């Protein structure tokens, strides 16, 4: 074998005319995946549950093989498509009759913020870092956690946010990117400070330092009292 052989890298032993067949095979598999998405009624991946993503990945694997390999016939992938569509319908029917099965396949919503503070243990169990979660909240128009009465991580990965009325907003952790906020290990003045990792709010005096009792972090920022701008 010759390294960097352009002929081998581009086509290997495949004849040029097979490229037209690859185009036809790709169109065939694209239509099958499109039809499956129409059957499920989903408009995007963000609307899909874990079970539905698994179905799509399985179908995509079969579709990829039949698109690129000349020794893979077209009919078996159609059987895969029909089998997965029937499996999807069956599982949806079973889940509509069994809450336990629904929780197994779809998962459960997880409360991530309660009364302006992160539900720290629940965030960890959701396999999501606080930084990922803060990004999602910023996209929902949240500046500081004290604005949020309740935030729920839904089973499709989206976050539902419920806000306090302005008069009820609490001091909370400013969740803007780190370069937009100051962080302290020794407090410059007395006031309310929020742990930059778990959002715990405590009152500290000038010159004080504290290891967060919830997450053992040593960095704090001034708690924000910003109201929500809509």
Domains of the chain, each with CATH number or no CATH: 15-103 (no CATH), 110-222 (3.30.240.20)
3-state SS, one letter per residue, for 19-85: HHHHHHHHHHHHHHHHHHHHHHCCCCHHHCCHHHHHHHHHHHHHHHHHHHCCCCCHHHHHHHHHHHH
Beta strands 191-195 and 117-118 are unpaired
Q: Give 166-181 pLDDT, tens digit per residue.
A: 899 999 999 988 788 8
Contact call for residues 175 and 143 (beta carbons, < 8 A): yes
- 3 state DSSP class of 208: coil
CA distance linking residue 82 with residue 117, whole number of Å: 47
Rg (C-alpha) for the chain, rounded Å, is 26
pLDDT of residue 203: 93
Q: At what angle do helices 74-95 and 18-40 cross, to 10 degrees?
A: 10
Q: Give 82-100 pLDDT, tens digit per residue.
A: 888 888 888 888 888 888 8
Q: Give 154-164 pLDDT, tens digit per residue.
A: 877 788 999 99
Q: Give 111-134 pLDDT, tens digit per residue.
A: 889 999 888 777 666 666 777 788
pLDDT of residue 44: 53
Single pTM value for the model: 0.66
Beta-carbon contacts of 88 under 8 Å, excluding residues fewer than 6 positions away, are 36, 39, 40, 52, 55
Q: What angle do CA 8, 9, 14 make, to 5 degrees?
A: 55
pLDDT of residue 63: 75
Other Cβ atoms within 10 Å of 137 Cβ, number: 21
Q: Give 12-67 pLDDT, tens digit per residue.
A: 777 778 778 878 888 887 888 777 777 766 545 556 677 777 777 887 777 777 77
CA distance linking residue 141 with residue 130, whole number of Å: 16
- 3 state DSSP class of 164: coil
Contact call for residues 145 and 116 (beta carbons, < 8 A): yes
Phi–psi pair at 93, nearest 5 degrees? -65, -45
**pLDDT above 70 coverage of the chain, percent:** 89
Contact call for residues 77 and 62 (beta carbons, < 8 A): yes
CA distance linking residue 185 with residue 16, whole number of Å: 66
Q: For residues 63, 69, 73 and 75, what is the CA-based torsion angle, rounded to 10 degrees?
A: 10
Contact call for residues 52 and 43 (beta carbons, < 8 A): no
Contact call for residues 196 and 219 (beta carbons, < 8 A): yes
**Average predicted confidence (pLDDT) for the chain:** 82
**pLDDT above 90 coverage of the chain, percent:** 24
pLDDT of residue 46: 58
């Amino acid at each position: 074998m010759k390294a960097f052989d352009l002929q081998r890298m581009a086509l290997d032993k495949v004849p040029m005319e097979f490229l037209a067949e690859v185009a036809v095979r790709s169109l065939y598999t694209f239509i099958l995946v499109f039809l499956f998405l129409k059957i499920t009624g989903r408009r995007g991946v963000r609307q899909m549950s874990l079970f539905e993503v698994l179905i799509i990945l399985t179908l995509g694997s079969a579709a990829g093989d039949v698109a690129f390999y000349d020794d893979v016939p077209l009919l078996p992938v159609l059987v895969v498509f029909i089998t997965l569509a029937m499996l999807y319908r069956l599982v949806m029917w079973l889940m509509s009759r069994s809450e336990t099965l629904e929780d197994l396949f779809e998962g459960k919503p997880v409360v991530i913020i309660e009364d302006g503070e992160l539900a720290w243990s629940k965030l960890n169990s959701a396999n999501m870092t606080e930084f990922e979660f803060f990004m999602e909240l910023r996209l929902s128009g949240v500046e500081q956690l004290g604005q949020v009465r309740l935030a729920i991580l839904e089973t499709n990965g989206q976050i539902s946010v419920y806000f306090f009325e302005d008069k009820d907003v609490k001091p909370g952790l400013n969740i803007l990117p780190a370069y937009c906020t100051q962080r302290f290990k020794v407090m410059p003045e007395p006031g309310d400070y929020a742990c930059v990792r778990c959002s715990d709010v405590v009152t500290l005096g000038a010159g004080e330092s504290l290891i967060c009792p919830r997450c053992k972090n040593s960095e704090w920022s001034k708690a924000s009292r910003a109201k929500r701008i809509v």
